[in-house]
A and B are shown apart, each in its own frame.
Chain A
């Protein structure tokens, strides 16, 4: 069987486009979801490759093959691509595919808008990457070197072309995610099956509803920030340039007003799907459903008023530093309510450990370490030892990779039988999990260690005393990267029709409307 036949809906109604045309003209929510997921998964591998390139450079002290400028460009592209081209669109893909099934609707409310959102992505990625390649043909000076936070770009960072292209790309990514957000809000609020109240819809829908509102709140602020930056760079304004009366710190305020909630935009979809998976493999209902919904809203609210904890080293006034510290501490409460509820869900269940469950459990641990390592950082009395060190890098990969990516992998394994009609290879799935879990933790725990010892982030080269940890980080990062190839192989084999036929409800303990239609669901 070929890939086309198996993902092709079983009972496609007559006239349903096939082949390439199907992907271009479709308004089917599942096809749109698959487009999003396929594209962003590819971006995961691209951005991961970038990380491996600069990890190879960092494996030993000395500058081996990347000079500082290329190093900075790769780090910047890695960060931007992972956040904007992988995680956010992947979560959007999941919502397009799953939410209608979960709420018993044949469609999303605004499929065409959602499709627009998708087609902006390849364009945005191209805009992001073009300057990087142009430099090898002697045009411009490469991609932005300013890190994903775009610091210092109001002034000169020696990347003229790159920063401008990044600004345009961020705009396109932003429009795309706003389109996605509208689609979610209208779908969830209007297309639920009549018997499903808001308080009985799956947590994933709640999680995405919160994310959608967060996007509407913060993406326009990011757009404003980079818009003003563009004006500074080309129209002679001085919003962020001190010599004209502007303030470079203002850019950071605007960026982080987006940037901190962005963290929750990245992890909330994964947080919201975890209880469903945990409950399925514990054969026990979700613990604390309402508590979790309230926590999402609390986190969204609190998350929007704590951005300054990223700026403690910038010399804000004392009162601001204190406010941002205490405000940030408060987020630890709703976050631990979530972890409490996840553990409450498996507690006294009858657990089995299929791959989705392994990844879901891994995501709990990832979030636990991410949260616990993070609560130290906003401390206005100790920040000087954490900020802009590798400790930060190690820390934030826990929520990003440890919670969001592992959570999405759990989701993929969980729904793959539904999406393809075939079971994936369980042994390969477990192998993938164990190698990922070990190498992931070795990579990022070591980063935290070397960061506490004082190694700064964003550096192409480092002092001798950091060499041991860095070698370990690089080796583990390569193992981590290689493990994802197992995942890729497993998913492709499943799509191609290897593996047993999946029942409509392949998991004994699964509940929810999404298991009623056939596997794969008809279009």
Chain B
């Protein structure tokens, strides 16, 4: 018996110290964050305030209940010779009142202490339209976000920019690993921005903790939320609704800038988009298209069709040696061939993960990526698809 209890003690101790070691030992990142990310918008302020109000009481309730339990565990023991009582409920009117008190307190906490501020916060949260300065349209799709500023006439796609080697091959990870994108969303500070949410495939959720915003993008329906950023800076979030294989790789990056810098950014972005339209009109050389196409492929298509176009059998078809890729995309009279290469990229295939890229990629991008696929991975069609043709056929 003695030996057994000794062993028990030892095991218990070593188990504890093992856990302790796991906690403290070799803390490579030393980042034990356990509270909300700093709030920079009214909704996040509300959430933080309510959370703190609630948490203090929750911890108080926990500690006081545990204290009562601990007292009982310590004193009401057989080995201390304590004689058990026999009551099965409150026995005197005073005890009845005393036992009712915690519950009255609980109702107060639920419905007044937290319930009232929560009411106002929820009402504020739904007040998306009043006094909105800017409208942003966010369209989610597997696994990227498209941002559109209807009034400014700007539209672009934002997707993960962390190199695949960092994710899959253990290359040294950057500071913003998995929380970085190619085209960040840029928003002005101190302006109320009404955010409209849409989805082109399955449900996703647009979530930036520092804004206190988390809202689903539901296919076929319009959802909305709003934000008014109070501080310049870069804020990061992630998709918050499981949406398929690469759900973990769908980050959101928002750069909040001054109103002036925002105006400059809008002007620059517009000029870029106009340049893109004009560049779609010029005749591209094969090398230009191949080079641009490789970039697009590695940014967008690679997550499914994989490097080298090998795909995953049964899930994502290989593009190397694919029948579709190696057949014509245009018939003799110049019409788009249904289920041909260009049609598949422009219009996707309903009911599969291959979505329509018509709305997210420009003429140049599509021409380039198709040309690239037709002349890489061992495919040797040799042909060149010009952006003007894409514009005509889309």
* A residues neighboring B (CB under 8 Å): 61-64, 67-69, 72, 135, 138-141, 145-147, 151-152, 155-158, 241-243, 246-249, 282-289, 291, 313-315, 318, 321-322, 325-326, 329-330, 332-333, 336-337, 339-340, 343-344, 346-352, 361, 364-365, 368-369, 372-373, 375-376, 379-385, 387-389, 427, 430-431, 434-435, 438-439, 442, 449-450, 452-454, 456-469, 471-472, 475-476, 479
- B33 lies within 8 A of chain A by Cβ: yes
A248, B214: Cβ atoms closer than 8 Å: no
* B residues neighboring A (CB under 8 Å): 4-5, 7-8, 11-12, 15-16, 18-19, 22-23, 27-37, 43-44, 46-48, 50-51, 54-55, 58, 61-62, 65-66, 68-69, 72-73, 76-79, 82-89, 99, 102-103, 106-107, 110-111, 114-115, 117-126, 166-168, 170, 173, 175-179, 197, 201-203, 205, 207, 209, 212-216, 218-221, 223-225, 236-249, 313-315, 351-353
Decide: A385 near B88, CB < 8 A? Known: A350-B77, A369-B62, A461-B178.
no
Q: Which residues of chain A are near B84, meaning CB under 8 Å? A: 282-284, 348-350
B216, A315: Cβ atoms closer than 8 Å: yes
Q: Which residues of chain A are near B50, meaning CB under 8 Å? A: 379, 381-382
Q: Which residues of chain A are near B126, meaning CB under 8 Å? A: 318, 321
Q: Which residues of chain B are near A315, meaning CB under 8 Å? A: 197, 215-216, 218, 223-225
Report the minimal beta-carbon distance from B55 to chain A, rounded to whole angstroms. 7
Nearest neighbor of A149 in chain B, beta-carbon distance: B242
Nearest neighbor of B65 in chain A, beta-carbon distance: A368
Q: Which residues of chain B are near A375, meaning CB under 8 Å? A: 54, 58, 110
B36, A452: Cβ atoms closer than 8 Å: yes
Nearest neighbor of B12 in chain A, beta-carbon distance: A434
B205, A68: Cβ atoms closer than 8 Å: no
B215, A465: Cβ atoms closer than 8 Å: no
B202, A242: Cβ atoms closer than 8 Å: no
B22, A476: Cβ atoms closer than 8 Å: yes
B37, A453: Cβ atoms closer than 8 Å: yes
B315, A69: Cβ atoms closer than 8 Å: yes
Q: In the docked arrangement, what's the CA distance between A404 and B246, Å?
A: 33
Q: Which residues of chain A are near B69, meaning CB under 8 Å? A: 343, 346, 361, 364-365
Q: In the docked arrangement, what's the CA distance between A281 and B48, Å?
A: 43
Report the minimal beta-carbon distance from A207 to chain B, rounded to whole angstroms. 18
Nearest neighbor of A458 in chain B, beta-carbon distance: B242
Q: List 28 A-B contacts (CB under 8 A).
A: A63-B168, A152-B202, A157-B202, A246-B220, A248-B203, A284-B84, A287-B87, A315-B223, A325-B115, A329-B111, A346-B72, A348-B85, A349-B72, A349-B76, A350-B82, A351-B76, A352-B79, A368-B62, A372-B58, A376-B58, A385-B44, A387-B214, A427-B4, A434-B12, A456-B240, A461-B249, A463-B179, A465-B31
B353, A158: Cβ atoms closer than 8 Å: yes
Q: Which residues of chain A are near B43, meaning CB under 8 Å? A: 384
Report the minimal beta-carbon distance from A291 to chain B, rounded to whole angstroms. 7
Contact pick for A286, options B12, B88, B122, B173, CB 8 Å: B88
Q: In the docked arrangement, what's the CA distance between A384 and B8, Å?
A: 45
Q: In the docked arrangement, what's the CA distance between A388 and B247, Å?
A: 12
Contact pick for A431, options B11, B22, B352, CB 8 Å: B11
A351, B73: Cβ atoms closer than 8 Å: yes
Nearest neighbor of B168 in chain A, beta-carbon distance: A63
Q: In the docked arrangement, what's the CA distance between A346 and B84, Å?
A: 9
Q: In the docked arrangement, what's the CA distance between A152 and B87, Å?
A: 53
Q: Which residues of chain A are near B73, meaning CB under 8 Å? A: 346, 351, 361
Q: Which residues of chain A are near B51, meaning CB under 8 Å? A: 376, 379, 382, 385
Q: Which residues of chain A are near B33, meaning CB under 8 Å? A: 449-450, 453-454, 465-466
Q: Which residues of chain B are near A325, meaning CB under 8 Å? A: 115, 118, 122
B18, A376: Cβ atoms closer than 8 Å: no
Nearest neighbor of A252 in chain B, beta-carbon distance: B203
Nearest neighbor of B122 in chain A, beta-carbon distance: A380
B221, A247: Cβ atoms closer than 8 Å: yes
A439, B15: Cβ atoms closer than 8 Å: yes
Nearest neighbor of A334 in chain B, beta-carbon distance: B103
Q: Which residues of chain A are near B29, meaning CB under 8 Å? A: 464-465, 467-468
A151, B241: Cβ atoms closer than 8 Å: yes
- With A329-B110, A461-B167 given, name 18 new contacts (CB 8 A): A67-B168, A72-B244, A152-B203, A283-B78, A284-B85, A288-B89, A291-B89, A313-B241, A315-B215, A339-B65, A346-B72, A351-B72, A379-B50, A385-B48, A454-B33, A456-B240, A458-B242, A460-B248
Report the minimal beta-carbon distance from A228 to chain B, rounded to whole angstroms. 16
Nearest neighbor of B352 in chain A, beta-carbon distance: A156
Q: Which residues of chain A are near B125, meaning CB under 8 Å? A: 380-381
B173, A62: Cβ atoms closer than 8 Å: yes
B122, A321: Cβ atoms closer than 8 Å: yes
B68, A326: Cβ atoms closer than 8 Å: no
Report the minimal beta-carbon distance from A133 to chain B, rounded to whole angstroms. 14
B8, A472: Cβ atoms closer than 8 Å: no
Q: In the docked arrangement, what's the CA distance between A285 and B83, Å?
A: 13
A348, B173: Cβ atoms closer than 8 Å: no
Report the minimal beta-carbon distance from A333 to chain B, rounded to whole angstroms. 6
Decide: A68 near B118, CB < 8 A? Known: A315-B223, A385-B51, A438-B19.
no
B178, A463: Cβ atoms closer than 8 Å: yes
Nearest neighbor of B216 in chain A, beta-carbon distance: A314
Q: Which residues of chain A are near B22, meaning CB under 8 Å? A: 471-472, 475-476
Contact pick for A372, options B32, B61, B203, CB 8 Å: B61
Decide: A385 near B240, CB < 8 A? Known: A69-B245, A242-B221.
no
Q: In the docked arrangement, what's the CA distance between A147 and B124, Å?
A: 32
A158, B82: Cβ atoms closer than 8 Å: no
B122, A318: Cβ atoms closer than 8 Å: yes
A340, B207: Cβ atoms closer than 8 Å: no
Report the minimal beta-carbon distance from A457 to chain B, rounded to whole angstroms. 8
Most chain B C-beta atoms within 10 Å of own C-beta, residue among A68, A288, A326: A68
Contact pick for B118, options A246, A380, A389, CB 8 Å: A380
B202, A155: Cβ atoms closer than 8 Å: yes
Q: Report, nearest first, the 5 A-B pairs whose CB atoms are least far apart.
A: A242-B220, A381-B121, A459-B248, A449-B34, A453-B33
Decide: A62 near B78, CB < 8 A? Known: A326-B115, A332-B106.
no
A140, B314: Cβ atoms closer than 8 Å: yes
B106, A388: Cβ atoms closer than 8 Å: no
B214, A383: Cβ atoms closer than 8 Å: yes
Q: In the docked arrangement, what's the CA distance between A155 and B249, Å?
A: 20
Nearest neighbor of B62 in chain A, beta-carbon distance: A372
Q: In the docked arrangement, what's the CA distance between A152 and B197, Å?
A: 17
Nearest neighbor of A430 in chain B, beta-carbon distance: B8
Nearest neighbor of B54 in chain A, beta-carbon distance: A376
B72, A348: Cβ atoms closer than 8 Å: yes
A68, B12: Cβ atoms closer than 8 Å: no
Nearest neighbor of A290 in chain B, beta-carbon distance: B89
Q: In the docked arrangement, what's the CA distance between A99 and B65, Å?
A: 32
Q: In the docked arrangement, what's the CA distance between A256 and B32, Å?
A: 33
B65, A68: Cβ atoms closer than 8 Å: no
Q: Which residues of chain B are near A430, meaning CB under 8 Å? A: 8
B247, A68: Cβ atoms closer than 8 Å: yes
Q: Which residues of chain A are near B72, meaning CB under 8 Å? A: 343, 346-349, 351
Nearest neighbor of B242 in chain A, beta-carbon distance: A458
Q: Which residues of chain B are near A158, meaning CB under 8 Å? A: 244-245, 315, 353
B314, A333: Cβ atoms closer than 8 Å: no
Contact pick for A385, options B124, B168, B212, CB 8 Å: B212
Q: Which residues of chain B are near A282, meaning CB under 8 Å? A: 76, 84
A379, B54: Cβ atoms closer than 8 Å: yes
Q: In the docked arrangement, what's the CA distance between A380 and B313, Å?
A: 44
Report the minimal beta-carbon distance from A162 to chain B, rounded to whole angstroms. 12
Q: Which residues of chain A are near B62, meaning CB under 8 Å? A: 368-369, 372
Report the minimal beta-carbon distance from B211 to chain A, rounded to whole angstroms. 8
Q: In the docked arrangement, what's the CA distance between A197 and B66, Å?
A: 35
Nearest neighbor of A146 in chain B, beta-carbon distance: B242
B212, A151: Cβ atoms closer than 8 Å: no
Q: In the docked arrangement, what's the CA distance between A440 and B12, Å?
A: 14
Q: Which residues of chain A are near B83, meaning CB under 8 Å? A: 350
Q: In the docked arrangement, what's the CA distance between A461 and B143, Å?
A: 15
A450, B34: Cβ atoms closer than 8 Å: yes
B167, A63: Cβ atoms closer than 8 Å: yes
